[in-house]
Structure 1
Amino acid sequence: MEYLLTLAADPAVWAALVTLIVMEVVLGIDNLVFISIISNKLPAAQRARAQRIGIMLALVMRLALLGTVAWITRLTQPVFEIFDHAFSWRDLILLAGGLFLVWKATKEMHHHVNKASPESGSASGIGTITVASAIGQILLLDLVFSVDSIITAVGMTEHLPIMFIAVIVAVATMLFAARPLSRFIERNPTVITLALSFLLVIAMTLIAEGFGTHVPKGYIYAAMGFAGFVEGLNLLARRARVKRESRKPMQPQVKRLAS
């Protein structure tokens, strides 16, 4: 308890906590987009439950990984070399996660492009899966992001309670934001293509990191933010056009009533 009180009285610790929370929330955006796309493949009655279970299990897994933080930090040690390039377990995890995301995003984009066929049974243009499969995919991807974020967090602070609080706050934010984001994507199918493109960009970033090439996250999120802003303008323009077109058939009736 004395240790926690000492941390609470240190302004540097509060600054580290705020920084870690922001970092975890920003990194969680990638995971949240994936969760929304995967859960939208489920029947509507099962989506919220799958999201809650997947995110809560992801929280348990992240807290468990934080408990083995000393072991996690050793994942950065080289285990073998290929063509004079050393690979660590962290690199291999990032490579596996990136390749999984490339495969998954490409597969979902293929389903989305083919959704125009009349026999497509999903409103979002994506085939159905089981709840267990959706939760498994959520946990698999969260494992990749968890290892990377924990290693980054260790470089920012040595205080384990700060890491625990940051992870809990970030996952709680994901839990509250998952359902609204899922509904938004379901109501606006064109956003799915943009979200899948984001996942492809993130996948290539993970692969690059796995090969030892650092990609500044600021550039990635700035590009994603600008693309999202442009898509938002397109959505507003489409809604305004639909409203104008919906008013056109009413105009002759109004004139006849006036006469």
Structure 2
Amino acid sequence: MFEWLTDPHIWASFIALSAMEVVLGIDNVVFISVMVSRMAPEQRLMARRIGLSLALVFRVIMLAGIAWFIHLTTPIFSIGGYDFSWRDLVLIAGGLFLLVKGTREMHQDIEGEHEEAGTSRVVDTLTSAIIQIAVIDLVFSIDSIITAVGMADHVEVMIAAVAVAILVMYFASEPVGAFIERHPTTKMLALSFLLLIGAALIADGFHFHIPRGYIYFAMAFSAAVEAINVIAVRNRRKPKAARERKETEVNP
């Protein structure tokens, strides 16, 4: 029954698929980090747990009903020579959602339109965040499952790889969120990533596939530039802090 556990080819596909699922989960981590950034600190951990739990549930359900999931790619109507399936519609809707969400978050940060924090505000934010995370988890799950189906033959291997990826995302989401909170400029970069991912999803929905390698390279390059900027700002602040400390000692 479990002969496949000793098959090296299956283990190789599990390792490769786990690595690929972790890479594909970058989108999810960025989105969740942005979503919880406005929440009260005591609510953020709960939102991350619920969000990533939903991501795991969606992926396992899709894998369990893999025969049904395959039918999502069957065309349901045509417009201008393009055939659209349920998968295409979900990707387009998810891409539009990310574009609207990213634009609104940018506008709110730039204009400084922050509502007063309160108990009802926290509850509304938590509920809203969970709903939005659930929606985007569903969209990201489609790409994740399509990749899993293409790289492995056993559903058990797919579920195990997805579970490993979700576990990595769980431990990575908190440091990423904390970094974004400590360095406000990185939030704008994260929002730009959401716009980029949204545009890629819409393009996929219209059958114009943008290789994910290009997108991840652009994200990695931008993140490296921002990391250099953060280090430079920190180094510039050190002499200033030292001077202020010295002046305080001289003139108490």
Which range, TM-score by smaller chain? over 0.9
Q: CA deviation at 1:150?
A: 0.7
After superposition, give the CA deviation of every residue in 1:2-37 in whole Å (9 maximum; x if it has no partner). 2x3x22222221121111111111111111111011
- Superposed counterparts of 1:180-199, under 5 Å: 180-199=175-194
* Residue from 138, 156, 162 that aligns with 2:157: 162
Q: d(CA) in 1 for partners of 2:250 and 2:105?
A: 49
- Superposed counterparts of 1:146-225, under 5 Å: 146-225=141-220
8 A contact 1:50–1:131 mirrored in 2: yes
What amino acid does structure 2 have at the position aligned with 1:220?
I
Q: d(CA) in 1 for partners of 2:94 and 2:248?
A: 59
What amino acid does structure 2 have at the position aligned with 1:191?
T
Q: CA deviation at 1:39?
A: 1.0
1:68 matched to which residue of 2?
Answer: 65
Q: d(CA) in 1 for partners of 2:58 and 2:52?
A: 10
* Residue from 227, 237, 242 that aligns with 1:242: 237
1:43 aligns with 2:50: no
Q: Which stretch of structure 1 is more off in the superposition, 34-43 or 231-240? A: 34-43
Q: d(CA) in 1 for partners of 2:71 and 2:150?
A: 13
8 A contact 2:91–2:202 mirrored in 1: yes
8 A contact 1:20–1:163 mirrored in 2: yes
1:142 matched to which residue of 2?
Answer: 137
* Residue from 18, 21, 24 that aligns with 1:24: 21
Please, which runs of 5 or more residues in structure 2 have no aligned partner? none
The count of corresponding residues between Structure 1 and Structure 2 is: 248
8 A contact 1:34–1:199 mirrored in 2: yes
Q: CA deviation at 1:252?
A: 5.1
What amino acid does structure 2 have at the position aligned with 1:219?
Y
Q: d(CA) in 2 for partners of 1:68 and 1:61?
A: 11
Q: Which stretch of structure 1 is more off in the superposition, 57-66 or 87-96? A: 57-66
State the secondary structure of the residue aligned to 2:96: helix
Q: CA deviation at 1:168?
A: 0.5
Please, which runs of 5 or more residues in structure 1 have no aligned partner? none
Between the aligned residues of both structures, percent identity stands at: 49
Q: Which runs of 4+ in 1 moved over 2 A?
A: 119-122, 127-130, 249-256
Q: CA deviation at 1:75?
A: 1.0
8 A contact 1:90–1:148 mirrored in 2: no
CA 1:198/1:253 → structure 2, altered by over 3 Å: closer, same or farther?
Answer: closer
Q: CA deviation at 1:81?
A: 0.6
Q: CA deviation at 1:243?
A: 0.9
After superposition, give the CA deviation of every residue in 1:184-213 in whole Å (9 maximum; x if it has no partner). 111111000100001100000001100001
Q: d(CA) in 1 for partners of 2:140 and 2:35?
A: 17
State the secondary structure of the residue aligned to 1:130: helix
1:106 matched to which residue of 2?
Answer: 103
What amino acid does structure 1 have at the position aligned with 2:211?
P
8 A contact 2:180–2:187 mirrored in 1: yes
Q: d(CA) in 2 for partners of 1:202 and 1:153?
A: 20
Q: CA deviation at 1:152?
A: 2.1
8 A contact 1:24–1:166 mirrored in 2: yes
8 A contact 2:200–2:210 mirrored in 1: yes
8 A contact 2:54–2:137 mirrored in 1: no
TM-score (structure 2 length as normaliser): 0.92
* Residue from 96, 111, 114 that aligns with 2:93: 96
Q: CA deviation at 1:158?
A: 1.9
Q: CA deviation at 1:58?
A: 2.3
Q: CA deviation at 1:94?
A: 0.5
State the secondary structure of the residue aligned to 2:25: helix
RMSD of equivalent CA atoms: 2.0
